Amino acid sequence: MVKQRAQRGWEWLIERAIQVAGAVAIIFVLMIFVFLLRDALPVFKATTARELLAGKDWLPTAEPPRFGFLPLVLGSLYVTIGALALAMPLGLACAAFISEVAPRWMKEVLKPGVEVLATVPSVVFGFLGLLLVGPWLADVLNLPVGLFAALGSLMLAFMAMPTIVSVSEDAIRSVPAALRENSLALGATQWQTIWRVVLPAARSGIIAGVLLGVGRAIGETMTVLMVTGNAAVIPEGLKGLLRPVRTLTATIAGEMGETVVGSPHYHALFAMGLILFLIAFLTNTIADAAIRRSGRLGR
Amino acid sequence: MSESNTDRPIEQPEGEIKIETRGLNLFYDAFRALTDINVAIPARQITALIGPSGCGKSSFLRCLNRMNDLIDDARVEGDVLLDGGSIYEDDTDVAQLRKRVGMVFQTPNPFPMSIYDNVAYGPRLHGFGGRDSLGEVVEKSLRGAALWDEVKDNLRKSALDLSGGQQQRLSIARVLAVGPDVLLMDEPCSALDPTATFRIEELMLELMERYTIVIVTHNMYQASRVSQHTGFFLLGELIEYGSTVGIFENPKDQRTDDYVRGRFG
């Protein structure tokens, strides 16, 4: 009887502890949002939302200062989308190869190998891009400068790949073997089976992997700060990929230390943080919806 | 052909032969799963393979459409002839072979897509014509599998929402859509309730008019209900093969007799 009561008390304690842990995660997110908002909103004393979002010039120290986010937002988009365009097909192909095609010994080497790539610090990628890849690409492509948007994309692709590969490979591997057998027994080739059955069956895991990769790419600061040239100009067309850009993250990291706390510039940087936060929130929500939608047929 | 096999009670069926195996041996690494199987399977009839678990009947079935190729350590010796031609030539197109020799598995495994897309999967692979003809193929196959009336209004619904029995008939429809001559069925009713089992058995008897069917079954009553020929496997060997009536009413080998009378297995 006593033992039972003690057990029930213990049970209660554990339940509460789990509840608190769950609540803490949500509270953190809310608090980050509140603090960002608190330090971002005063920027509207110095400028308008329209100027902020559509302004073409980022000249925070000019007189009068101009707080146009457009070049920075576009810079972030260029670098991120470029990274995604490289990392997604490559990562998926790599994941499919590891789980479906490679012989066992190769699997055992490749998977940990790719995962090691995820542990390389971002500053190392920046370093490699800055000193090795950038100058070489500038030489080959005949560019004026060795620091440009696509170089950032390339480096970010390397960093996002391990996540995409690892998560998608897990998802692909967990597709029941019976589905593959059924497909092959209908006269499908291995390639047809991978493309038409295995990848669609693993899609929610693949979407999750790609989005985790995007998360890494859009939030990445150090590498892009080092290799994208930091020119706050609006990139134009595809050619913009080969010109220097500056991303939101690089701007915050580069300028936060040099602003006067409480100045409009300071608040503008917080507004950028808010935008990044909202982008991340939006990607997650879209991903969630996508997973749920694709899961409907799969359930 | 080894000496011991020739005096076994293995009958040569009359009429057209669809599949014939010659000295078929199957090894998983060092383990010999099948020993010297020589059997002729008649066209457009149902042949049942019975025997206790692990006797090699499923392994044998998987030799007939080369599904054992997927197992790394599996090795086949001897030969399997389909319509008189070997399916184990170096240049055999395995995908084409499996198109001719369809397989229905023990547990139904619909692809995670709509009913329509499940049935259309095979035809799309093999490049059937325009949209209209694909729709016709899907309808015909679903009718052939006695599923059409139950799903015709919900073709876009996920196949995973169907009941187990419906899913198994969908598996059959999926195979029919590819246009095979032979249907291999590996314990197709073992995951189904009696009503669904009855429907599948009925369906098999209808399909027999056009297809050569080989069914592996645990259920001897099923074998005696649906098949015209029966083979009894034990420990990787074909012990006895002949007309189903003969095997069940007048078995020649003592072990067959013991098995069909339920003394073991």
pLDDT digits (tens, 9 = 90+) for A190-210: 999 999 999 999 988 898 888
Residue B27 lies in a domain: yes
User: Higher pLDDT residue, A270 or A2?
Assistant: A270
Q: Do residues A87 and A207 both lie within one domain?
A: yes
**Closest Cβ–Cβ partner in B65, B112, B171 for A200:** B112
pLDDT category, B2, cuts 50, 70, 90?
A: very low
Task: List phi, psi (to 5°) of B25.
Answer: -125, 145
Residue B42 lies in a domain: yes
Contact B65/A at CB under 8 A: yes
Q: Do residues A22 and A164 both lie within one domain?
A: no
Q: Do residues A121 and A178 both lie within one domain?
A: yes
Q: Do residues A54 and A202 both lie within one domain?
A: yes
Q: Do residues A28 and A66 both lie within one domain?
A: no
Torsion (CA) B126, B127, B132, B135 in degrees, nearest 10: 20
A297 and B114 within 8 Å at the Cβ level: the answer is yes
Full domain range(s) for residue B77: 3-107+179-260
The DSSP 8-state label assigned to residue A99 in this structure reads I
B121 and A183 within 8 Å at the Cβ level: the answer is yes
Query: Which residue in A has a C-alpha nearest to residue B65's C-alpha?
Result: A185
pLDDT category, A49, cuts 50, 70, 90?
A: confident
ipTM of the complex: 0.89
Q: Render pLDDT for B28-68 as a digit per residue (tens, 0 to 9).
A: 998 999 999 999 999 999 999 999 988 999 999 999 999 99
Residue B235 lies in a domain: yes
Full domain range(s) for residue A13: 2-45
Residue B118 lies in a domain: no
Distance, in Å, from the CA atom of B211 to the CA atom of B170, rounded to the nearest integer, reads 17
**Of the residues A10, A29, A45, which one is the last residue of a structural domain?**
A45
The pLDDT of residue B72 is 83
Does residue B4 register a pLDDT over 60?
no
Q: Are the CB atoms for A65 and A255 separated by under 8 Å?
A: no
The pLDDT of residue A124 is 92
Query: Which residue in A has a C-alpha nearest to residue B70's C-alpha?
Result: A181
Report the number of distinct structural domains present in chain A.
Answer: 2
Q: Do residues A194 and A233 both lie within one domain?
A: yes
Residue B63 lies in a domain: yes
Q: Do residues A18 and A86 both lie within one domain?
A: no
| Long-range interactions of A277-281: CB distance < 8 A, separation 24+ | A277/A32, A277/A33, A277/A36, A279/A218, A280/A215, A280/A218, A280/A219
Percent of chain A with pLDDT over 90: 41
CATH classification of the domain holding B213: 3.40.50.300
Q: Do residues A71 and A202 both lie within one domain?
A: yes
Chain-centre distance of CA A127, in angstroms? 20
Residue B137 lies in a domain: no
Percent of chain B with pLDDT over 70: 95
Nearest partner of B211 among B101, B48, B123, judged by Cα? B101
**Closest Cβ–Cβ partner in B95, B107, B113 for A297:** B113
CA-based Rg of chain A, rounded to a whole angstrom? 23
Distance, in Å, from the CA atom of B175 to the CA atom of A183, rounded to the nearest integer, reads 10
Report the number of distinct structural domains present in chain B.
Answer: 1
Residue of B64, B99, B101, B121 for testing the chain A interface, max A β-carbons within 10 Å: B121
Q: Do residues A115 and A103 both lie within one domain?
A: yes
pLDDT category, A47, cuts 50, 70, 90?
A: confident
Q: Do residues A136 and A233 both lie within one domain?
A: yes
Q: Render pLDDT for B118-163 as a digit per residue (tens, 0 to 9).
A: 999 999 998 875 556 888 999 999 998 889 999 999 999 999 999 9
Q: Do residues A174 and A224 both lie within one domain?
A: yes
Quick one: average pLDDT of A106-112? 91
Q: Do residues A22 and A126 both lie within one domain?
A: no
